[in-house]
Amino acid sequence: MILNSNLLEKMCAAYGPSGREHRIRQMIAEEIKDYADDIKEDAIGNLIVHKTGKGRKIAVTAHMDQIGFMLRSVDDKGRFRVLPLGSIKPLNMIDTRVRTETGEQGVVLCEKKSADTTVSCDDLYIEFGMNPKKSDSLDSFRGQEIVIKADYYENEEFIVSGALDDRIGCFILAEVIKKIKSCRNDMYFIFSVQEENGFQGIQSAISAVEPDLLLAVDVTCSNEELRGMKTDTSVGKGAALKVMDHFMIVCQEVIEWLKMTASENGIPYQLDISDHGGTDACKAQRYQGVKAGAVCVPAKNIHSGNEIVSKSDVAACLELIQTISDTEINF
Active-site residues, by number, are 195
Contact assessment for residue 292 and residue 281, using Cβ atoms and an 8 Å cutoff: yes
Q: Cα separation of 10 and 267, whole Å?
A: 27
Q: In 3D, which of 173, 210, 198, 201 has the Cα closest to residue 314?
A: 173
Q: Cα separation of 194 and 190, whole Å?
A: 13
Q: Cα separation of 281 and 194, whole Å?
A: 14
Please compute, for residue 278, the number of CA atoms within 13 A of its CA located in the half-sphere on the CB side. Answer: 19
Q: In 3D, which of 245, 65, 16 has the Cα closest to residue 169?
A: 65
Q: In sequence order, what DSSP letters do the residues of 2-44 get, joined into one string?
A: ---HHHHHHHHHS--BTT--HHHHHHHHHHHTTT-SEEEE-TT
Three-state DSSP at 143 gives coil
Q: Cα separation of 234 and 266, whole Å?
A: 19
Q: Cα separation of 239 and 262, whole Å?
A: 9
Number of helices and strands in the chain (H, E) = 9, 17
Q: Cα separation of 94 and 90, whole Å?
A: 7
Q: How far apart are the first and last CA of the chain?
A: 31
Q: Is the dihedral of CA 155, 157, 160, 163 positive or negative?
A: positive
